[in-house]
Structure 1
Amino acid sequence: MRRRPAVLAGGGGLLAMGLLAALVSHSAFAVGLTAAHEDTRIYMDGLSGSGVGLSATTATHAAEANGAMAVERARVGLQLQDVEVNGLCLVATHDIPGVGTTSAVITAGEAVDGRRSGRDPVRFESLALDLSSIEGQARDVDDLALGQSAQNVPGGGAAGEFGIAARSIAFDELALSSGALDLSSGATLPGLRVRTLAGAADRSDCP
């Protein structure tokens, strides 16, 4: 079922996503994006990069506004250099007072449909993600080092936390949940498209 475009009067999270469109120039941009309340879902048919660092961290978040309750959540930091992505789709969903549930969907490169065509690759000089979940198929892993202290892997982390490093790696059919994306080194995004949709969007809204 195709969703209807949403008409928005506000909404901080969606405005932050919309900032991407304002910063685009000739299919390239440099920006850092943080999703303050909910993770952004990221879908890719393929991703490859070098200088790979993965570190696990545990962050404490207040469960109530007064901080009386706190919960610990495991996060994974992923850092890569010279990144190539086959199909990119970012989805952020928010409940906006007076509007309802609305999603921002950002796509670039080939369609995210489970098949890597190799056409119109999205490229990042470097990519850093703060992840709450990562699912996919790893392949072409080169020079993998397990059990590193997180402070010693590319991108760094807290001393004593678990880390993984690799010279290079590739993934197929990635599904990520990320609270923050650092794209500040620049990117090339052919066919960039930004949409707002009524309701909670998912991977089926990516193509």
Structure 2
Amino acid sequence: MQTEQVLWGTCHADANSMPFAPEQAILKGSDLAERLNLNSGLGVTKYLTESRTEPELKGRRGKALGGRDKLKGEADIQTAQAANQFMDLVRYKSGSGEVEDGQILASRDMHKGMGATVEAVLKNGIWSVVVQRKLKSDNAGDVSIEAGKIYNFGFAIHDDYTSARYHHVSFGYKLALDNDKAEVNAKAQ
């Protein structure tokens, strides 16, 4: 993602397993059920506030936190997509070795993307994980990485068999190819 969004900016109090998550019956009957795939049984997934009109962020006067029901129109979502206002996502499941690739904007969409490979080794209680993917992509929802530009990235690690709410999230980092202003700077050899 190329905006100044931190990793936890995709989690909201009305997402699945969170305190203000709506009941499945409310979701299935909503106007947004089809657009957000709310009939899948997954509930409200991660989303970016850029995809919502007026998300409630403070919860004043008893208002429920979140913006699941404030989805912008499809034209606005497509404009945000074209402007790279999404989060490119690669997910690795150590138990099964499964690698998933997708994006987050209006919802989490694990659409296969351009694909990534992951090599992971647990040795002496320490995981070493290498994620590889192509730098350039023509798939919507994939960020193409160019030398000199700076990109935001972060990590989320689920531990102790958690699959939803309880996980460790890093602060945001800056990644670049040949740019000393980034915290993680890969230099050409």
Q: TM-score, normalised by structure 2?
A: 0.23
Higher relative contact order (CA 8 A, sep 6+): 1
Q: TM-score, normalised by structure 1?
A: 0.21
